[in-house]
Amino acid sequence: MNPQNNFKAIEFFSGIGGLHYGLQNASPLSSIVQSFDMNELANSVYHHNFKKKPNNRAIDHLKINEIEKYNAQVWLMSPPCQPFTRGGKYLDDLDPRTRPLIHLIDMLQKLEYKPTYIFLENVLNFEKSKTREILVKTLNELGYTIQEYLLSPVQLGVPNDRLRYYLLAKKSISNSESHKRKTSYLELNADEYLIKQFPESSKNFSNNLLLNLFGFTPQNNQLYKLEKFIDTKLDYEKFKVPMAYIKKRKNYDFDIVNTNSKHSSTFTKAYGSKHILGSGSLLQTETSNVDDKDLQKLVIQENVENEETIKLIESFKLRFFSPQEVAKLMCFPVKENNNENKSFVNLEFPTNTTIRQQHQLLGNSVNVLVVSTLIYHLLNDL
């Protein structure tokens, strides 16, 4: 890493600080000079860990001088994803929740002191959006070199599928260079501009970060089993999945994993609630009396309403992943990692946050290993 990397960064839509952790890992000498988020619960967690409370002012009401005064070389952004999802009706730039990002794009054009580096994370489908088109067109016109990625933590050996869109942009020093590229990038189709592999130059960095976080690195690009992320001594009763949630589903269509599994589904803000479909994997804690045929029988089962099926599911002793386990799979530094690196700020939740709230906040956050790796690439190699 370049020892001169001592940047000032602004973190927009900061949440619980996933991008702050990313910058902390990628460039330890750099600092977040200001973070912005309107969610007071997320802000309380951020303050608890980083001892700095984010500004809760609406981003779309910020004025140029309020941003320019920081002279920040780096912008980190993880704007609301709902406008680009089925649940948000794909309203895209017409969704009021997109206004803050559109405002930042507009402000970027007017700033005298523009950031050298810009990093943005969002959900799959952002790459097809009108908002993305507006952002990329603006960055291109302002002379930024752009890279866009669709990546998942499984590509780095972490058994959790969280496929996300990432944009990296670096301001070119030479205007003549950027002018030549101005139209060519915009003419590319998605298959051409979307990169689906991590940069080779950042592989050593991501492996070293995994080693620092968990004490292991992937061997021969293999995924690790979930057992490395699971607390087998956890109180089952505290996190068990109520059978009432299961019975509400007419079909067997949820994801069950165990400690030997090498995958888990994306954890969303609905995880831990009655909305068990598509919100994240359920952990099977009883495996001794269950064989693969039982699971196959469930998969082809037309419904889960008959007594035999209900008994079979009950025998699995399903539970939710704890917030601590979800945090590990999202590669946050947590105390249970036995991390000896004192430079890490561990993720902790204030005692007054409920388990449900912790799941919600994590579901809205980012995978720290992925964003750390890409921020490292942005600051060192782009």
Residue spans per domain, the chain = 8-215+366-381, 226-364
Q: Which distant-in-sequence residues (6+ apart) come within 8 Å of 221 by Cβ? A: 157
Element housing 123 (H / E): strand 117-123
Catalytic center residues = 81
Q: Is the dihedral of CA 195, 196, 200, 204 positive or negative?
A: positive
Residue 374 in contact with residue 18, Cβ under 8 Å? no
Alpha-carbon span 7 to 106, nearest angstrom: 23
Torsion of CA 102, 105, 109, 113, to 10 degrees: 130
End-to-end Cα, the chain, rounded Å: 13
- Per-residue confidence of the chain (382 residues) as pLDDT tens digits? 454 579 999 999 999 999 999 999 999 999 999 999 999 999 999 999 999 999 999 999 999 999 999 999 999 999 999 989 877 788 888 899 999 999 999 999 999 999 999 999 999 999 999 999 999 999 999 999 999 999 999 999 999 999 999 999 999 866 555 555 556 788 888 778 899 999 999 989 999 999 999 888 877 778 899 999 999 899 999 999 999 998 887 777 789 999 999 999 999 999 999 999 899 999 999 987 666 666 666 655 656 667 877 888 898 999 999 999 999 999 999 987 655 555 678 999 999 999 999 999 999 999 999 999 999 999 998 8
**pLDDT reported for residue 89:** 83
Residue 166 in contact with residue 120, Cβ under 8 Å? yes
Residue 271 in contact with residue 280, Cβ under 8 Å? yes
Instruction: Kindly report the CATH number that applies to the domain delimited by 226-364.
Output: 3.90.120.10
**pLDDT reported for residue 56:** 97
**pLDDT reported for residue 303:** 62
Torsion of CA 132, 140, 144, 36, to 10 degrees: -40
* 8-215+366-381 and 226-364 in the same fold: no
Instruction: Kindly report the CATH number that applies to the domain delimited by 8-215+366-381.
Output: 3.40.50.150
**pLDDT reported for residue 186:** 81
